[in-house]
Amino acid sequence: MTPRLRFAPSPTGYLHVGGARTALFNWLYARRHGGAFILRIEDTDVARSQAEMVTGILDGLRWLGIDWDEGPEIGGPHAPYFQSERLERYRAAARALLDSGQAFEDGGAIRFKVPPGKTAFTDRVHGPIEFDNEHIESFVILRSDTHPTYHLSVVVDDIDMAITHVVRGDDHISNTPKQVLLYHAFGKTPPSFAHVPLIMGPDKQRLSKRHGATSVMEYEKQGYIPEAMFNFLALLGWGTGSNDELFTRDELIQQFNLDGISGGNAVFNVEKLDWFNHQHLVRLSDDEIVARLRGARLDAWGLGTDTRSASMLALLRPRCKKLTDLPDQLRPFFEDPAAYDADAIKKQLSLPGCADHLRALRGSYEQVEWSEAALERALRELADARTIKAGLLIHGTRIAMTGRMVSPGLFEMLIVLGRDTVLRRLDRLAAFL
Partner RNA sequence: GUCCCCGUCGUCCAGAGGCCUAGGACGUGGCCCUUUCAAGGCUAAAACACGGGUUCGAAUCCCGUCGGGGACGCCA
Instruction: Report whether 56 contacts 13 (CB < 8 A).
Output: yes
Distances (CA, A) of 216 to 115, 225, 339: 42, 10, 37
Q: How many residues in the shown chain lie near RNA by CB under 7 A?
A: 82
Which is the catalytic residue, given 118, 178, 204, 209? 209
Instruction: Give the Cα separation of 276 and 228 in Å (integer).
Output: 5
DSSP 70: B
By the rule CB under 7 A, 88 interacts with RNA: no
Q: Is 214 in the site for RNA (CB under 7 A)?
A: no
Binding flags for RNA, 280-319, as an x/- string (CB under 7 A): --x-----------------------------------xx
Determine the angle formed by the axes of helices 354-367 and 372-385, rounding to 10 degrees.
Answer: 140
Cα–Cα dist 1/399, whole Å: 66
Cβ 226 to RNA shortest distance, Å: 19
Give the nearer residue to RNA in terms of CB position, either 37 or 232. Answer: 232
Should residue 144 be labelled a site residue for RNA when binding is judged by CB under 7 A?
Answer: yes
Q: What is the DSSP letter of 206?
A: B
Q: Which amino acid belongs to residue 91? A: R
Name the segment binding RNA (CB under 7 A); options: 27-35, 86-94, 159-167, 200-208: 200-208
- Window of 156-164, 193-201, 285-293, 302-310 that interacts with RNA by CB under 7 A: 193-201
Q: Does 122 bind RNA (CB under 7 A)?
A: no
Q: What are phi and psi of 346, to 5 degrees?
A: -65, -40
150 binds RNA (CB under 7 A): yes
Taking CB under 7 A as the criterion, which residues in 159-178 touch RNA? 170-175
Residue 412 CB, shortest distance to RNA, in Å, is 6
Does 266 bind RNA (CB under 7 A)? Our answer is yes
Annotated active-site residue 209? The verdict is yes
| Contact with RNA (CB under 7 A) among 53, 253, 267, 423 | 267
Q: Does 135 bind RNA (CB under 7 A)?
A: yes
Q: How many CA atoms lie within 13 A of 165 on its CB side?
A: 25
Asked if the peptide bond before residue 80 counts as cis, ω within 30 degrees of 0, the response is yes
In sequence order, which ranges of 169-248 are alpha helices (DSSP H)? 176-185, 216-221, 226-234
Q: Among residues 66 and 94, whose Cβ is nearest to RNA?
A: 94
Give yes or no for residue 55 binding RNA (CB under 7 A). Answer: no
Q: Return d(Cα 103, Cα 31) in angstroms, integer.
A: 38
Name the residues annotated as catalytic.
209
